[in-house]
Amino acid sequence: MHFAVRAAMAGRILPVVSVLVAVAVCAMGEAAATAAKVPALYVFGDSTADVGNNNYLAGAAVPRANFPHNGVDFPTSRPTGRFSNGYNGVDFLAVNMGFRRSPPPFLAVANRTGNQVFRGLQGANFASAGSGILDTTGDSIIPMSKQVEQFATVQRNVSAHIGNEAAENVLSRSMFLVSTGGNDVFAFFSRNSTPTADEKQQFVANLVALYANHVKDLYVLGARKFAVIDVPPIGCCPYPRSLHPLGACIDVLNELARGLNKGVKDAMHGLSLSFSGLKYSIGSSHAVVQSIMKHPQRLGFKEVTTACCGSGRFNGGSGCTPNATLCDNRHEYLFWDLLHPTHATSKLAAVAIYNGSLRFAAPINFRQLVEDQH
């Protein structure tokens, strides 16, 4: 049945292309067949999106979450590299798009060139915890520029397998999800915790310009539909709160996050005017987290300052290690660990961003971006 739907959709494009797409869909086989609403989902970014790439990197400095209590609520209670008790936001967005969860980490499939990923189907997740927009952000991670290069190898494989025209077609209908920026802000703050207005403005302007460059690079490789996740009020995470003498949010971090979000919003608008066929939606994890902090009870939460798993003040003093404290009522917590949301928060965020009002996704929501037929 899915097959019929896909074939019918493919029928609207050039006949040659439709045959190629139909063949590709056939080759997916029963096991991988889904009700996916787009051919593929490609994911770029940091720990808010990583589903296990960092597990494949070597070294003690690599940011990891491939140990308990991470994954305690994942199917079969498996730690996977996700910084969550269960799914992360990308998993839930992928579910909304009709996939089972996030596509696999790129490094898990990179050597399997026969994989459907190399025919433009399902997609891959290139996100790496600790990375940022800048190449200099993070240590022992995969920076965004490298993630884009890794996608370029996928794009070349897709073209080689199904032909340039079919590759262009399938990629133009696929979703390109980007969730990054928080680590750049943290890195800047750790070098200069009391920046002047000028320093803040310059830092944000530089970040936005580089963000736009990454988007342009992806566009050149065939990306057309950009699903951007903005930066939440990171100054209110348990870790920054644990550093504040009064346990309050660290305002500078929130201010930089807002500045970056505003800049990226304007930049995406500009890019959509100058690059033919570029469509985008900005999903606001910032607005979701703010809503939860403002109306926790109404949205089903009880604890919005302390992390479920960690140690020290607000459980913000360490990551979620096997010997850290673990809360029982995990679905009532906004934060899973010192910096990341719970499965429950991610689920709510995905619903709001996928199908919510302009407050949560603009200028269109992710569903409208998925359904857009150019």
Ligand X SMILES: *[C@@H]1O[C@H](CO)[C@@H](O)[C@H](O)[C@H]1NC(C)=O
The tokens for 74 are 């994942």
CA atoms in the 13 A half-sphere facing the CB of 118: 14
When the beta carbons of 249 and 339 are compared against ligand X, the nearer one is 339
Q: Which is nearer to ligand X, 133 or 352 (CB)?
A: 352
- Cα separation, 245 vs 150, whole angstroms: 43
Q: How far apart are CA 122 and CA 94, in angstroms?
A: 10
User: Least CB distance from residue 207 to ligand X, whole Å?
Assistant: 29
End-to-end CA distance of the chain: 24
Q: How far is the CB of 153 from ligand X (least distance, A)?
A: 4
Does position 94 interact with ligand X (CB under 6 A)? The reply is no
Catalytic-role residue among 281, 337, 343, 346 = 337
**Minimum CB separation from ligand X for residue 98, in Å?**
11
Strands (E), 99-246: 122-125, 175-179, 225-229
300-339 residues near ligand X, rule: CB under 6 A: 311, 318, 321, 323-324
Burial of 373 (0-12, 13-18, 19+ CB in 10 A): exposed
**Residues in 104-133 that interact with ligand X by CB under 6 A:** 107, 110-111, 113
Is 47 an annotated catalytic residue?
Answer: yes
Pick the catalytic residue from 69, 161, 286, 340: 340
340 is catalytic: yes
Task: In angstroms, give the least distance from the CB of 304 to ligand X.
Answer: 22
Q: In degrees rounded to 5, what are phi and psi of residue 86?
A: -145, -115
**Residue nearer to ligand X on the CB measure, 111 or 274:** 111
- Alpha carbons 368 and 34: distance in angstroms, whole number: 20
Decide: is 274 part of the binding site for ligand X (CB under 6 A): no
Residues designated catalytic:
47, 337, 340
Query: Which residues sit at the interface with ligand X, rule CB under 6 A?
Result: 56, 107, 110-111, 113, 153, 156-157, 160, 311, 318, 321, 323-324, 355
